[in-house]
Amino acid sequence: MTLPYSEVFYMITRMKRDEKPLPHTPLLLHVCCGPCSTSSIERLEELGYKVHMFYSNSNIYPKGEWEKRYAEVEKVGNYFHLPIIKKEYDHDSWLGEVKGHEDDKEGRERCSICFEYNVHIAATEAKKRGFSYFTTTLSVSPHKRSLTIFSIGEKEEGFVPIDFKKKGGFHRSIELSALLDLYRQDYCGCEFSMQRVLQKE
C-alpha cells in the first residue's frame, strides 16, 4: 500500500519535531488565538526555542472579534514575557483567497486554503525578520487535522512540524486558559464558521 504524501512527510519528520535545537534558537510562532498559544509556547520553550509570537489571522470576522482575540494573545505574551508581532488586518484579502468556497463544509477545502493563507503569511514574516524557523499553533486544535497543516507547512522554508495537540497539549491549553482567565471563542474565526454555530443554536 502506498501512503499519502502527507503521511510520508509526517513519518520522516516525526523524530525531527522533538529534536532539541540549540539553546535559545529564535522561532516565529504563528498564534491563531490566546488559548491555543498557551501550551504551544510551553512545548516550544521545553524544546529550547526562543519564541516570538506572531498574530495575523485576517480570516477572523468581524474585526472586533479579531481585536478581542488579540487582547487575549497579549495576556499570554505578558504571562510568558514574550514579544508579539502584529500584522495588519486585511479580511478582504482573505475573502479573495477563499472565493468560491464560501459554502464548503467545515474542515474541507476552504479550511485548507485558510491554513495555507495564514501559514504563508507567517513564513513570509519569518523570512523578512530573519527567523530560520517558524511554526503555527493551528495543530493544537482537535478539530484540525495536523497532517493537513504539516503538508501545507512543509512547502515553506523553515517550517517546524509539531503536533501541539499531542502529549496532552490541548487539555493543557484549557488549564492555562482557565489560569489566565482567557476568552475561549466558540467558532473558528471566519463568518462562515460563525454561521454554522448560529445555525446549531
Express each pLDDT in 136-190 by its tens digit: 999 999 999 999 999 999 999 999 999 999 999 999 999 999 999 999 999 999 9
SS3 of 90, please?
Answer: coil
Query: Reading across the β-sheet that carries 49-55, which strands appear in turn?
Result: 84-86, 49-55, 25-30, 134-136
Spatial CA neighbour of 160 closest among 38, 8, 56, 19: 19
* Predicted confidence (pLDDT) at residue 6 exceeds the cutoff of 90: no
Note the pTM of the prediction, 2 decimals.
0.90
Express each pLDDT in 23-80 by its tens digit: 789 999 999 999 999 999 999 999 999 999 999 999 999 999 999 999 999 999 999 9
CATH number of 24-200: 3.40.50.620
pLDDT of 70: 98
| Domains of the chain, residue spans | 24-200
